[in-house]
Structure 1
Amino acid sequence: MQMTTTTILSALAGLALASTALAQDAEPYRPSADTSGTITVWTWPNNDRTFAALLPSFNEAYPNIKVEVQGFPNADNQYLNTVQRALLSNSGPDVAMIEIGVLALLRERPQWVDLAQDPYNADELMSQFAPFAAANVTRPDGKIVALPKHTGPGGLFYRRDIFEEAGLATEPAEVEAIFADWDAFITEGQKVVKPNERWLIANGMEIVSTMMAQRGVSWFDTEGNLQLDNPIVIEALTKVDQAADAGLISPFTMWSPEWQGAFGRGQIATIMSGNWFGGLLKRAFAPDDAGKWGVASAPADETGNRSFNAGGDHIGILETSQNKEAAWAFISWVVTDGVSLQQQYQNDDLYPAWTAAGSTDWINFQDPYYGGQNVNEVFADIQANLIPSTLNQDDNIVSDAVETAVNNIVQGVATPEEALEQAKTEVAARL
């Protein structure tokens, strides 16, 4: 069964909201419905398809604004490079998306419109976004470079049918019970593995990023000090080593065509990722697998914490835009309008940063793709309890080095200790 917008929305008839902002303490400034012009929006897949699907509803509110969406592959490499070149040359689109992993790198650029200023006055709205998302887009001088669009509460996506075949429980609470901690995840997870055919874990970096986030450790601390010597890093790399020895980790390179296709082929039984990963499953990786997937919380760390953030996106206006009024109409509508947020959540699993959305009926629904599960019962708790990450402009350098370390451990060419030392050397050479 392939899920479509029509399928989901017809099943949820009666829950749609009027096309208005979800009012809380204050509503965003709204340009006149007569505002006109053409704006360009830069983003990445699958977000380009998300925007394209939103445009009919947006044009009901703003019929005279034409939005041209351009998608560039991979938010933190080709897309990032494209945006950076545009900023340096004072060219580019009216509106651009910013992924959380590169927000610290891009937010210092002067080419972003300050949304705290008139007529936007976004500083009056920041209390209505998830606090960590609002803090991430606000510079120390008070400049707001973008609006938070979505957060990335993270969970364990798992194949119900594979778990059943392996004799494991299939309901979320039961899955959390058998995967009580990381040791249990490795021990029990071996039951789903078929050597050279099926694996438990899509990529070893999932373990590292999840364990670090659960402990509240980022690549850098708030003072900018590198955190590779934090004990959780070697602990996580050791867990990767144990999982690799048990044959749990797939050989596919993350985001490669082989890796993406493995989900639809039933070769990967779980993945720890942000809420948004469900949108990729539905639209791209496994569109015919409705009913086969479920969502639970990740294995708990030693403190019992299962919550982590894995992603988030933001949307800003460039100073070079020739139609900032239309650009603001678009970005404020996308991140605060009830119809917009409902459609993005129910169709693409994008979790609203606008906190008023958390009290709506539409965020709690039985999603047929997840076998009728209300996944917000998992993600709302995670969102409420996650430890925000500390962002640094050099995050990508460290992440790349650690990813190489993880691959070397999985391939058996380095011990966790050796791989970590190699990562430290690589980072030192690049900083």
Structure 2
Amino acid sequence: MTRRWKVVAAALALAASLQGAAAQEAPNTEVSGAVSLWTWPHNDRTLSSLLPEFNKAYPNVKVRIQGFPSGNNAYLNKLLSALLAGTGPDIAMVEINNVAQLSDKQQFADLSKPPFNAGALKAEFAPFAWSKIEDPATGRIFALPKHTGPGGVFYRRDLFAAAGLPVDPQALAATLKDWDAFIEAGKKIAKPNERWMVGTGNELVRAYIAQHGVSYFDKDGALQVGGPVFRQAFELVAKARDAGLISPFAMWTPEWQGAFARGQIATIVVGNWFGGLLKSAYAPGDAGKWGVVPAPAAENGVSAFNWGGDFLGVLETSKNKDAAWALVKWIAMNDTSLKLQYEKGDLYPAYMQAGTAPWINFQDPYYDGQNANEIFAKVQAEMVPQTTNPLDSIASQAVETAVNAVVTSGKPIDAALAQAEAEIKAKM
């Protein structure tokens, strides 16, 4: 470990030691009743697997967890319909891209008020995550952060070694110091119709705009897609395309997923949670071949970015708010809960004290003995909040379509950005 990382680790340890004792308070075993929780697939299985441990702490609380498909906003639409009808679960999970659509819904209980008093927990959570759930003007808190998505670059050690590039994470991080360096390294790795540096152009756009703290809309609701940061991001994509670095596969397709195990994609620029997919689904047989480094820095010197995150809110219609709140706090803050969630899917806790736990700081054999948390803990501490807007999902789809047009058909950047703007404005 370099002196720089030792300083970071020491700072994290100090921060954890200063966290309030209330975070691991003894459970109130007198709390009882039945509560329901809505979420989406995979999370439903993960959370269901936690219930035996939860019931050791809260033996008198019965929990029902339901997962609903998330594709095409199915889960979001179901939840919105339930809120409108005054029905729904006791607890609802909220994905980070839907925060703006749900945070002002009065059907979510204000967790700053009794019996929750969540404001006392603010210092326990990553500032990036907390910024999403508290209204700075009113102090209203609509949910509790569960996980974040600190981003980095997952890379195939063997492909970098074969190209004569560094394999050691610290040496490679110095080599991939900025996006121009990333492209130059990619030229040594990519082979036409056989191997690519990165899977999709949209990865580069999402990381780049996040590094600048820019989102699809500004705080006043003005569309930013035609602005300079988006144009610079698209220019980065065009450079990578011209160098033959971007695969022809669309993200989440079977072809894209299989390319990781086939060794056709050398890196992916994405949130920490992707490690869980590599280990369990996309490349489970490739332990030791992967590593993690920070993302290349943008022109402003910022490397950190976020991709992902979720939250837990209690609905006003809940008949058992005490039990619902006990479950929310246990899932989001309990060491056993967070450890199991990390082990099952590399889910990165928003609860800062967990960042110093042994179960997240270890020599991971999948990464050839690297402690990946040395990367992600620093990223979480440095992530810049982006403005959220109810139309983010529409804007995100339009931008991704425009990026794909630049990559696959060579569409001019100005035309692609204009197309995205027009598509978004048509739905505003």
- Say whether the fold is shared (TM-score over 0.5): yes
Seen in structure 2, the aligned counterparts of structure 1 residues 318 and 22 have a Cα distance that, compared at 3 Å, is farther
> Which position in structure 2 is the counterpart of 1:101?
97
Are 1:270 and 2:253 counterparts? Answer: no
Does the alignment pair 1:110 with 2:106? yes
Does the C-alpha gap of structure 1 residues 428 and 343 become closer, same or farther in structure 2, counting only changes over 3 Å?
same
* C-alpha RMSD of the superposition: 2.2
Match of 2:185 in 1: 188
2:179 equivalent to 1:213:
no
Equivalent position of 1:415 in the other structure? 412
Offset at residue 154 of structure 1 (A): 0.7
Cα displacement (A) at 1:31: 6.0
Report the Cα distance in structure 1 between the residues aligned to 2:251 and 2:84, rounded to whole angstroms. 30
CA–CA distance in structure 2, aligned partners of residues 82 and 249 of structure 1: 36
Are residues 1:43 and 2:44 paired?
no
Q: CA deviation at 1:125?
A: 1.0
Counting matched residue pairs gives 411
Instruction: Pick from 66, 85, 91 the counterpart of residue 89 of structure 1.
Output: 85
Separation of aligned partners in 1, 2:149 and 2:71: 15
1:177 aligned onto 2:185: no
Deviation at 1:23, TM superposition (A): 8.4
Q: 1:76 to 1:210 in 2, by over 3 A?
A: farther
The one-letter code matched in structure 1 to 2:47 is F
Secondary structure of the residue that 1:137 maps to in structure 2?
Answer: coil
Deviation string 1:103-132 (CA, Å, 9 cap, x unpaired) is 011111121122111111101112221122
Deviations 1:241-263 (A, max 9, x none): 12122221122222233323332
In the alignment, the residues of structure 2 paired with residue 255 and residue 168 of structure 1 have an alpha-carbon distance, to the nearest angstrom, of: 28
Equivalences for residues 117-128 of structure 1 within 5 A: 117-128=113-124
Match of 2:247 in 1: 250
Change (3 A) 1:26 1:228: same
Alpha-carbon shift at residue 25 of structure 1 (Å):
2.6
The 5-angstrom pairing of residues 70-89 of structure 1 reads 70-74=66-70, 77-89=73-85
Pair 1:32-2:1 in alignment: no
8 Å CA contact 1:222, 1:390 repeated in 2 = yes
Once residues 172 and 71 of structure 2 are traced to their aligned partners in structure 1, the CA distance between those partners, rounded to angstroms, is 32
Identity of aligned residues (%): 55
- Distance in 2 (CA, whole Å) between partners of 1:206 and 1:45 is 23
Q: Distance in 2 between matches of 1:34 and 1:317?
A: 20
SS of the residue aligned with 2:149?
Answer: strand
Moved more, 250-259 or 26-35: 26-35
State the 1:137 CA deviation: 0.7
- Match among 352, 357, 372 for residue 349 of structure 2: 352
Distance 1:211 1:383 in 2: 16
2:126 corresponds to 1:130: yes
Equivalents in 2 of 1:332, 1:198: separation in Å?
Answer: 45
Higher mean C-alpha displacement, 196-205 vs 280-289: 280-289
Q: C-alpha separation between the residues in 2 aligned to 1:165 and 1:73? A: 41
> Counterpart of 1:238 in structure 2: which amino acid?
E
Residue identity in the other structure for 1:220: F
- Of residues 239-248 and 221-230 in structure 1, the stretch that sits farther from structure 2 once superposed is 221-230
The aligned residue for residue 276 of structure 2 is 279
1:201–1:250: 8 Å Cα contact kept in structure 2?
yes
When structure 1 is superposed on structure 2, of 291-300 and 167-176 the one drifting more is 167-176
Give the 3 Å change call, closer, same or farther, for CA 167–71 of structure 1 in structure 2.
farther
SS at match of 2:152: strand
**Contact 2:198/2:245 (<8 A) preserved:** yes
45-54 vs 311-320, which moves further: 45-54
Cα deviations across residues 253-284 of structure 1 (Å, max 9, x unaligned)? 22233323332333322111111111222223
Listed one character per residue, the Cα deviations across residues 124-144 of structure 1 (whole Å, up to 9, x for unaligned) are 112221122112111232221
TM-score (norm 2): 0.90
Q: Is the 8 A contact 1:26 1:124 kept in 2?
A: no
Change (3 A) 1:132 1:334: same
**Residue 8 of structure 1 corresponds to which residue in structure 2?**
none
Matched letter for residue 170 of structure 2: A
Name the CA distance, whole Å, in 1 between partners of 2:158 and 2:70. Answer: 30
Equivalent residues of 1:293, 1:370 under 8 A apart: yes
Cα distance in 2 for residues equivalent to 1:289 and 1:89:
48
Assess if the C-alpha contact under 8 Å between 2:226 and 2:417 holds in 1.
Answer: no
Q: Distance in 2 between the 1:278 and 1:22 partners?
A: 28
Question: Could you tell me whether the CA contact under 8 Å between 2:19 and 2:123 is conserved in 1?
Answer: no
Partner residue, 1:339: 336
Tell me whether 1:141 sits opposite 2:131 in the alignment: no
Tell whether 2:158 aligns with 1:161.
yes
* Aligned-residue offset at 1:189: 0.9
Contact 2:128/2:384 (<8 A) preserved: no
Quick one: distance in 2 between partners of 1:353 and 1:288? 29
Matched position secondary structure for 2:94: strand
Question: Is the 8 Å Cα contact of residues 54 and 330 (structure 2) preserved in structure 1?
Answer: yes
Name the structure 1 match of 2:11: none
SS at match of 1:27: helix
2:386 aligns with: 389
Deviation at 1:211, TM superposition (A): 0.8
Q: CA deviation at 1:229?
A: 3.1
For the Cα contact (< 8 Å) 1:127–1:134, is it kept in 2?
no
Deviations 1:21-49 (A, max 9, x none): 99823525876224333332222233223
Q: 1:429 to 1:66 in 2, by over 3 A?
A: same
TM-score, normalised with respect to structure 1: 0.89
| 1:231 alignment partner in structure 2 | 228
Q: In the alignment, which residue of structure 1 is the partner of 2:201?
A: 204
Could you tell me how far apart the structure 1 residues matched to 2:157 and 2:314 are?
A: 42
Gaps of 5+ in 1: 1-20
Letter of the 2:128 counterpart: F
